[in-house]
Amino acid sequence: MSLITLDQSEYKRLDAKAYAIEKRRLQIELLKLQEDVIRNDRKICIVFEGRDTAGKSSAIKFFSEYLRPKNFNYVQLGIPTKWESSHWFQRWEKVLPKKGEISFLDRSWYTRAITEPIMGYCNEHQYRTFMKRVNKWESELINSGTELTKFYFSLSKDQQERRMNARKNSQLKYWKLSKNDEKIVTKWDAFTLYKEQMFDRTSTDKSPWVSINSNNKMIGRLTSLRYLLIKTDYENKKILKPAKYSKSLSNYSATIEGVTFENLTYEQFMIITKYSDDT
């Protein structure tokens, strides 16, 4: 197994100002990468997988905030048709990046490796067929010029419960919590089992999974984008080492339900950000 787990210690002490500075530095580099992709007709596909509330969608928003809209795609496919369910790879081939594009996949073909078998949306034969064929399919994808990165955003069980409750009680985010989501979170152990099987079978030297600890979504975003920029070549590349962050006294801020709390201590900030709109 070639699973990559990233060291996040460089971002251990992160206040709002330091986050904004690092975010800007990385987003400038990502825009350079996009310009290189456009200029050289490259195809970049970035998969965002993970448990519910782990921060996949907000990470994609973070990545794409200042990119040229015409040259990136946000992909979030709905419920597959009967034909798509039986032609799984063909379903996803339709949304892969064309030359000069970056595609961000908010869930991917790997729903067949975890969610679908757990929830009974595919049968055992479909699951086993997928697991048997996916590595070869991805290898062919890479050989044909698609640059593939696979992120898996993880979080702890208690953190997921807090975020689920925050969504449920939020006047702005309640719609993000579906009946299906509530069912999935009751299957934590099954999810873990299928996730580990997915890592064991599909994290290869050519196409490894990159595991992102997203208990703190801000750190997860910075870590994942920084990894992408380090591993990917592009013109005028300049990867700066993270600044030294420290526990500044009472200069943290966070927003919950539209209300901003300022002049927080580091300890208060870490508690509040579990429920914050910003995370």
C-alpha separations of 141 from 35, 173, 205, 255 in Å = 22, 36, 15, 42
0.85 exceeded by the pTM? no
Residues of the chain with pLDDT > 70, as a percent, come to 80
CATH number of 4-240, picked from 3.30.390.30, 1.10.3720.10, 3.30.565.10, 3.40.50.300: 3.40.50.300
Q: Give the 3-state secondary structure of residue 265.
A: coil
- pLDDT at residue 17, rounded to an integer: 81
Q: State how far the Cα of 210 lies from the Cα of 258, in Å rounded to an integer.
A: 33
- The helix/strand/coil state of 178 is coil
pLDDT averaged over the chain? 85
pLDDT digits (tens, 9 = 90+) for 42-98: 999 999 999 888 889 999 999 999 999 999 999 999 899 999 999 999 999 999 999
Q: What SS3 string covers 74-126?
A: EECCCCCCHHHHHCHHHHHHCCCCCCCEEEEEECCHHHHCCHHHHHCCCCHHH
What confidence score (pLDDT) does residue 176 get?
73
Residue 253 has pLDDT above 60, yes or no: no
| Cα 12 to Cα 204: distance, rounded to the nearest angstrom | 29
- Residue 235, CB-side half-sphere exposure with 13 Å CA sphere: 8
pLDDT computed for residue 5 by the predictor: 76
Q: Which range is most confident: 9-23, 169-183, 258-272?
A: 9-23
H-helix or E-strand spanning residue 65: none
Task: Tell me which DSSP letter residue 186 carries.
Answer: G
So what's the pLDDT on residue 35? 98
Are 26 and 222 within 8 A, CB to CB? Answer: yes
Which backbone phi and psi does 238 adopt, to 5 degrees? -145, 95
Domain boundaries, the chain: 4-240, 247-279
Give the model's pLDDT for residue 257: 59
Backbone angles phi, psi at 204, to 5 degrees: -110, 165
Q: How much is the pLDDT for 61? A: 95
Note whether 164 and 185 are within 8 A (CB): yes
pLDDT(242) > 80 = no
Buried b (16+ CB within 10 A) or exposed e, 206-236: ebbbbbbbbbbbbbbbbbbbbbbbeebebee
Rg, the chain, Cα only = 19
